[in-house]
Amino acid sequence: MYEYAAKFADLLEQVALRVRSLTVDRVARVIKLTGLGILTASLAFTTLVFLLWAIFGALEIPLTTAGAFAVFAVLLIAAGSYFWFTRAKEAEEE
């Protein structure tokens, strides 16, 4: 009689472990990766902002504020033009 009780307890434990591995463990992994992704994105965004701020400050010393804004404007216009013309080429290929 005790043997059946032990086998039944082992069966219940195996079922519980299987259900946990199919549900809770997967969800926990997704939650952990989502949290790490949000943390990574926020740190990358903060790094980018401070990098742009430092470059602007370095340009502001020799060029004044208006010159630093002009350099950034030229860079952004050049990047926008590049994306615009590559988009136009892709549209022609279709």
- Stronger pLDDT, 18 or 77, i.e. the higher one: 77
Alpha-helical regions (H) of the chain = 2-22, 24-93
Question: Of the candidates 39, 62, 40, 59, which has an alpha carbon nearest to the alpha carbon of residue 51?
Answer: 59
Q: Yes or no: say if 60 and 68 are a contact pair by the CB < 8 Å rule.
A: yes
- Stronger pLDDT, 88 or 85, i.e. the higher one: 85
Where residue 47 falls (left for φ over 0; alpha for ψ -120 to 50; beta otherwise) is: alpha
How much is the pLDDT for 10?
A: 85
Q: How confident is the model at residue 94 (pLDDT cuts 50, 70, 90)?
A: low
What is the domain extent for residue 51?
2-93
- Total domain count, the chain: 1
Residue range 1-6: average pLDDT?
A: 77
- Per-residue pLDDT tens digits for 15-63: 888 888 888 878 888 899 999 999 999 999 999 999 999 999 999 999 9
**CA-CA-CA-CA torsion sign (72, 75, 81, 83):** negative
How much is the pLDDT for 69?
A: 95
How much is the pLDDT for 60?
A: 92
